[in-house]
Amino acid sequence: MRRTSFVPALWALAVVLGLGATAPALAETDAEKVARLEAELAALKAKVGPIADMEGVPLKELKAIAGVLSPELRGLAIDLSARSGEFCLRDPQGGRFMVHFSDDPKGTREDVIYFIAAETLADAGLDAAKLPPLPALGKMEPRRWYYYDGEAVEPHHQGRLGRPYIVLALDIR
Domain map (residue ranges) of the chain: 3-67, 69-170
> What is the DSSP code (8-state) at residue 42?
H
Total residue count of the chain as it appears in this document: 173
pLDDT of residue 139: 93
Its pTM stands at: 0.68
Contact call for residues 44 and 14 (beta carbons, < 8 A): yes
Q: How far apart are CA 144 and CA 156, in angstroms?
A: 16
Instruction: Band the pLDDT of 148: cuts 50, 70, 90.
Output: very high
Question: Average model confidence (pLDDT) for the chain?
Answer: 82
